[in-house]
Chain A
Amino acid sequence: GQNIDQPTEMTATEGAIVQINCTYQTSGFNGLFWYQQHAGEAPTFLSYNVLDGLEEKGRFSSFLSRSKGYSYLLLKELQMKDSASYLCAVHNQGGKLIFGQGTELSVKP
């Protein structure tokens, strides 16, 4: 079957670093996406990992280990506007995405 797990909720402090983990077991794998979704809005693209390793993009970084079925999203220098839901999604065959249930991140002052 297809299974993608990520924590339901996380809380962190402004200025800190937070790591959101995602583990997956899927029948096919072409890559892994991370999306950010603010309440009431559409998901927006953050990162896409195809190969193992760390991809850095400003304050956000994403890591992938295909052998372990594991990814994480790292957010540095947290800001209040980073409070949102973060969605992990496996890119399956044919352009289909399989989503985790999302991690609701609350950033406190």
Chain B
Amino acid sequence: DVKVTQSSRYLVKRTGEKVFLECVQDMDHENMFWYRQDPGLGLRLIYFSYDVKMKEKGDIPEGYSVSREKKERFSLILESASTNQTSMYLCASTSGTDTQYFGPGTRLTVL
């Protein structure tokens, strides 16, 4: 059974803090993605990665960075959290020819 896990379901941080969101998949997928989901805006792509050590900017990369040191793990980093980064963050992975499989999401609140 396919599995994508995220490190936290709920997270509360303060403005200016550095935040790490971790995503792990056990399907040996090359491609991994980070989205944020906001009411009325749908899912928007932040960053994606086609392979270890590779990363590409998505549609809204500002204020975020990523790390892919191992194939199964893709981390999203908020260098200095701001209130407008309060959102639901979803990680997904795919082999490229198949559907994207999503993790359960992390609801981040920045105070």
Contact = CB atoms under 8 A, between A and B. Distances in A.
Contacts of B102: 42-44
Interface residues of B, number: 24
A52 B31 CA distance: 27
Contact of A95 (B4, B41, B94, B101): B94
B75 to A, nearest CB: 18
Interface string A33-76: 10000001111110010000000000000000000000000000
Contact of B48 (A8, A89, A96): A96
Contacts of B94: 95
A99 B48 CA distance: 15
Contacts, number: 49
8 contacts: A43-B90, A45-B101, A48-B99, A95-B50, A96-B33, A97-B43, A99-B44, A101-B41
Interface string A93-109: 01111111110000000
B99 A42 contact: no
A87 interface: yes
